[in-house]
Structure 1
Amino acid sequence: MKVWLVDIIRNPENLSWAERLEVPSDEGRNYKVDQWCNRDLIPIPKERRTYTTMSYFGYWTVSGACVSAWTIGSTMLSYGLNAKQAIACVVVGSLLTGLLAISCGWMGEMYQIGFTVSSRYSYGFYGSYIPVVIRSFIACMWFGMQAYWGGQATRNLIGAIIPGFIDGSLANEFSGSSHLAKNDFIGLCIWGIFFCYFLTIPPERMQIPFYVSFVFFVGTCFGLLGWAVSVAGGAGPLFHSKATTTGSVGWGVMFGITALIGSWGAGCLGQSDWTRYAKTRYAPTLSQMIAAPMTIIVTAIIGVIVTSASYTVFDELVWNPIQLIPRIQQHYHSSPGARAGCFFASIGLVTAQMTISVVLNSVSTGMDLSGLCPKYINIRRGGYLMAAIGILCQPWQLLATAAKFLTVLSGFGIFVAPMTGVMLADFFVARKMKLRVCDLYRTHDSIYWLGEEGNWRGGFNWRGFVSAALGTAFLMPGLIAAAGPYSIASGWSRLYNLTFIVGTAISFAVSCTLNYFFPTPGNGLVAPFIEEDIISARFSSAGEGSNDEGKEPYSVQVDSV
């Protein structure tokens, strides 16, 4: 039982309302809950590191085999690429995504810390709030999209049992401009209730839901693939059509690759949020090298084939499987066989949306929000807050058309890519993978404070902000033009089409340069997380000497570097 709960039960009159709202902590804890630390922010101790290589394969079966992977390939068809070109984009983009996931997750494997804490050495203690807020907002937007799809999948599930739920008056929108039907809203509410329950499962115990979701979703994918190829007599006409992109095909292909990397960019940026649960070193690496690209490629290719083949039936591109299922049911006039098939297909989509929302959204966002206010927000509470913000962003407006969908994905990359470049340059090049983890949880005598104690400017690392700003600046004209009817030189638009690659490369190069000419103090020093120092907020002279040597007592060990 948690200490805070015991205190309330035994001595409720001794606790103020503020104290009762503080996040729970472990009984017998040897860390202090304060402005920079709580149970979800500390390096994961050995007893909570439960993820093996197979666990991370399960993670990527959820992250890669999902509706987002299905739609990214088929959405490229809506952009004007033909099916073969879309598949080529998927293959190249997925391989790059796997490499990016390995790089971004490396610090989690070594030091068991996530993006929230690692931002403190790249941007400063107070400066880390800015990238954390940006990533949290992006994740909230992503959750809103995933939740809306989850609500539609739930609508399909109910509609397979009660056909009138799809065909009747509940299918009407609230208003012409809302893009939200009444049955979608009901499905979203039901799906949201079950999602709130899933938030109660600790991240270290999510392996079984991973596998269950994968089995159901794979059944849905291959079921739709078999139906589409059967009715079309093959892969469909789009495999033989010419590209209709505006401008050269090459730039269209590059835009498709960048859109895919941007789709998983925010998730890759936060890979350390999950790799820190690794039971052994290098456990996540094999899954990131193999399962990440494999699951994305297979799912997206199935999506492309089904979209192409179903074109012969509906005479239009239905690029989202959640929209395809009710079309199939209506095409067969809600026959018993069609309803049964749609029912089981919807189960796979509902479970996939549930687990992907937990895996790629709630855990990372919960930890980010926890970093903003560790005393009162943990991963679970942050997940609830994320859900509220995501729904208030009205994702149904963003997903109204395929064009808007791709614009949103690329727009996310303009902020995520520079943060990725800064993180990789700072960790691998400037600091050579060496960190004093204990200094990431206190400002007193911390090498990452970068100033005198009490001087607010010491809480900001200007190198990170300059690097990220320059990585964003070169992409901003293209984003402005894409978001509105503005005319700019074609070079800016083409640069924007390479958002993730260009943004990461520029910020990486600038960060390496600034850290070379203006190095931060303490580079090359290594020390693990030390609870005794967190509690006392000071080092003894003998203790500081033993920290750099890596001697006991430590509850979390750092692998040699």
Structure 2
Amino acid sequence: MAAPDPPRSAVPPLPTPAPEVSPRLSNEDLTPARERTWGTYSVFALWMADTHAISNYTFAAGLFVLGLAAWQVFLALLVGITIVHLGMNLMGHAGHRTGVPFPVLARVSFGVYGANIPALIRAIIAIAWYGIQTWLASVALVVLTVQLVPATAAYTENDLLGLSTLGWAAFLFMWALQLVLLTRGMEAIRRVQDWVTGPVVWAVMLFLAGWLIVRADFDIPLTSGATDLTIGEQWRHGLAAVGLTVATFLTLILNYADFSRFTDSHRSYRRGNLLGLPVNFTAFALVSVLTTAGTVAVFGETITEPVEIVARIDNPWVTVVGAVTFVVSTVGINVVANFVSPAYDLANVAPRYLNFRRGGVISAVLAVVVLPWHLYANPAVINYFLGGLAAFLAPLVAILLVDYHLVRRGRIDLASLYRTDPGGAYHYRHGVNPVALQAFLPAALVSGVLALVPMFAAVAPFSWVFGLVLAGTVYYLRSPREAAGPLPRAAIPVPPELGGAQPDVPPER
């Protein structure tokens, strides 16, 4: 006699298979990082490579020329970079815990397909500036070549699409040199920035400052600027310096997860951020101001270009070392600020076909196609195109940070970041979160108008504040909250469908 069938409630349900990771959203470079090799020094070196740029030198020197005293420049930049430091720590927390790059992290708030909106905005800015910085480095290389081999000056007199023969040779050399480094991956980038870009530039800058101080018999004014300003003008320029400092770093705040995902602990990126931003950035700014003030005492005029100071030192070896150093500094900032992000961002558009390396090659090719020297020579393009896009970054930063820290309280479903099925947590409406768009579009419009319309020039340095507050407020009010509770502290384990658990990562401390 056959045994009776068990009651229906006693029959165990069939296991539900886990949703598969979609190749439309995933490849090896976009999944959570498994090798966490970036310690405190690597993060510190990252910021040395980024902040030791000629543009940062001239920015600090320009404040002195405007009439701010050295201590006022130091204080203004310290306040601005402290705000940046806070933003980096907040975004760094998300990158470290999840282990995913910026465009994948953006899927949480914008949707698995909507994340391409912030990713492509960031990529466009980075590609344009990648080309411009490569060209600026090549200009220094042309000057160095002509000084070493005067006969090459004959190749600077023709014009082909805006560059001379020697100009094209120098530009393509710099372009290829960076590409060789960049296509070797993030670990190669870390090693180069650890021991080359940041420390070398510091050595030359300290030499320049020391040489000028000795030549000036240690008589360099620190309590007065190059011109006289009223108290009101000093406050206006100082506050503008704070706003512009933050605006300059919004690009890296947005995609800081691209770097913090490789850190071995929360302590590493926090200590590295502290040493590299408030400490190193303001120290570099102070040395820049001392050097600029020293040019007044030694040469009788204000020189804000370090390359020109090097050229004034009548020593060919100093000229060569200085020129090479400033080329290296430009490469350093290019790698950190203008290559890593578009490499990931373009890979995120079509992960099945593009990885970090291929995305980087496409970015480098596009940086040549846009003929960056024409962009740089056209104030309208710089101010209205690149400046306008930069004004859009603050709303994006606000949405990502508000979503991670206030709305979701750090609770991320890693597997759903790689799912295209409608049941995924971040599929929203056809893969796009309408709340993110409702927060981003009006905030970007307001921020862009304030940044670009001449009648709002007085508040242009703070346009990012309006975009940040408006986008963050709208997103917070319109988004459903996660359950209350403290923000989880340990790293998020990687689901088996994404390759298994991460290596042991120390909890936050």
* TM-score (normalizing by structure 1): 0.76
Partner of 1:226: 210
1:204 counterpart = 2:180: no
Question: What residue identity is the alignment partner of 1:225?
Answer: A
In structure 2, how many angstroms separate the alpha carbons of the residues matched to 1:110 and 1:357?
Answer: 26
Kindly tell me: are residues 280 and 477 of structure 1, through their superposed partners in 2, closer, same or farther at Cα, counting changes over 3 Å? closer
Match of 1:507 among 471, 481, 498: 471
Kindly tell me: are residues 247 and 460 of structure 1, through their superposed partners in 2, closer, same or farther at Cα, counting changes over 3 Å? farther
Question: What residue identity is the alignment partner of 2:495?
Answer: I
Question: What residue identity is the alignment partner of 1:199?
Answer: L
Partner of 2:461: 497
Identical amino acids, percent of aligned pairs? 22
Q: For residues 115-157 of structure 1, what are the alpha-carbon distances to aligned partners after superposition, in whole Å with 9 as ceiling and x for unaligned?
A: 1101112111221111111000111122123212221232344
Question: What residue identity is the alignment partner of 2:346?
Answer: L
Kindly tell me: are residues 237 and 399 of structure 1, through their superposed partners in 2, closer, same or farther at Cα, counting changes over 3 Å? farther
- 1:43–1:111: 8 Å Cα contact kept in structure 2? yes
Partner of 2:401: 424
Partner of 2:75: 88
In structure 2, how many angstroms separate the alpha carbons of the residues matched to 1:298 and 1:172?
Answer: 41
3-state secondary structure, aligned to 2:453: helix
- 1:126–1:459: 8 Å Cα contact kept in structure 2? yes
Match of 1:214 among 188, 198, 205: 198
Question: CA shift at 1:284, angstroms?
Answer: 0.8
Question: CA shift at 1:508, angstroms?
Answer: 1.7
Kindly tell me: are residues 237 and 556 of structure 1, through their superposed partners in 2, closer, same or farther at Cα, counting changes over 3 Å? closer
3-state secondary structure, aligned to 2:262: coil
| 1:142-221 to 2 correspondences below 5 Å | 142-163=129-150, 165=152, 168-172=153-157, 174=159, 183-210=166-193, 211-221=195-205
**Structure with bigger RCO (C-alpha 8 Å, 6+ apart):** 2
* TM-score (normalizing by structure 2): 0.84
Kindly tell me: are residues 556 and 447 of structure 1, through their superposed partners in 2, closer, same or farther at Cα, counting changes over 3 Å? farther
Identify which range, 268-277 or 82-91, moves more after superposition. Answer: 82-91
Q: For residues 67-125 of structure 1, what are the alpha-carbon distances to aligned partners after superposition, in whole Å with 9 as ceiling and x for unaligned?
A: 33323212435666555543332222122222221111111111101211011121112
- 1:104–1:268: 8 Å Cα contact kept in structure 2? yes
1:344 counterpart = 2:329: no
Partner of 1:460: 432
Question: What residue identity is the alignment partner of 2:501?
Answer: Y
Partner of 1:355: 332
1:54 counterpart = 2:41: yes
Question: What residue identity is the alignment partner of 1:514?
Answer: R
Partner of 2:263: 278
Match of 1:134 among 114, 121, 125: 121
3-state secondary structure, aligned to 2:226: coil
Partner of 2:347: 370
Kindly tell me: are residues 60 and 500 of structure 1, through their superposed partners in 2, closer, same or farther at Cα, counting changes over 3 Å? same
In structure 1, how many angstroms separate the alpha carbons of the residues matched to 2:209 and 2:383?
Answer: 24
Q: For residues 487-546 of structure 1, what are the alpha-carbon distances to aligned partners after superposition, in whole Å with 9 as ceiling and x for unaligned?
A: x3xxx333322123332222222221122xx558999999743243x69xxxxxxxxxxx
Partner of 1:7: none
Q: For residues 24-60 of structure 1, what are the alpha-carbon distances to aligned partners after superposition, in whole Å with 9 as ceiling and x for unaligned?
A: xxxxxxx967110001100001xx2111222222222
Question: What residue identity is the alignment partner of 2:201?
Answer: F
- 1:36–1:441: 8 Å Cα contact kept in structure 2? yes
Question: CA shift at 1:307, angstroms?
Answer: 2.8
3-state secondary structure, aligned to 1:242: coil
3-state secondary structure, aligned to 1:49: coil
Give structure 1 stretches of 5+ with no counterpart. Answer: 1-30, 333-337, 451-456, 483-487, 536-552
3-state secondary structure, aligned to 2:409: coil
| 1:61-100 to 2 correspondences below 5 Å | 61-77=48-64, 81=68, 83-100=70-87
Partner of 1:38: 27
Partner of 1:396: 373
Kindly tell me: are residues 400 and 245 of structure 1, through their superposed partners in 2, closer, same or farther at Cα, counting changes over 3 Å? farther
Identify which range, 358-367 or 34-43, moves more after superposition. Answer: 358-367
Q: For residues 167-222 of structure 1, what are the alpha-carbon distances to aligned partners after superposition, in whole Å with 9 as ceiling and x for unaligned?
A: x44555849x95x5664443222211211110132212433312122232122212
Q: Number of matched residues?
A: 483
In structure 2, how many angstroms separate the alpha carbons of the residues matched to 1:53 and 1:519?
Answer: 34
In structure 2, how many angstroms separate the alpha carbons of the residues matched to 1:414 and 1:360?
Answer: 16
Kindly tell me: are residues 192 and 374 of structure 1, through their superposed partners in 2, closer, same or farther at Cα, counting changes over 3 Å? same
Kindly tell me: are residues 238 and 558 of structure 1, through their superposed partners in 2, closer, same or farther at Cα, counting changes over 3 Å? closer
Q: For residues 442-488 of structure 1, what are the alpha-carbon distances to aligned partners after superposition, in whole Å with 9 as ceiling and x for unaligned?
A: 122211112xxxxxx33111221222223222223333324xxxxx3
Match of 1:113 among 100, 121, 141: 100
Kindly tell me: are residues 225 and 404 of structure 1, through their superposed partners in 2, closer, same or farther at Cα, counting changes over 3 Å? farther
Identify which range, 143-152 or 435-444, moves more after superposition. Answer: 143-152
Question: CA shift at 1:290, angstroms?
Answer: 2.4
In structure 1, how many angstroms separate the alpha carbons of the residues matched to 2:328 and 2:426?
Answer: 42
Kindly tell me: are residues 323 and 103 of structure 1, through their superposed partners in 2, closer, same or farther at Cα, counting changes over 3 Å? farther
- 1:132–1:368: 8 Å Cα contact kept in structure 2? yes
3-state secondary structure, aligned to 1:340: helix
3-state secondary structure, aligned to 1:475: helix
Question: CA shift at 1:349, angstroms?
Answer: 1.7
Kindly tell me: are residues 376 and 33 of structure 1, through their superposed partners in 2, closer, same or farther at Cα, counting changes over 3 Å? farther
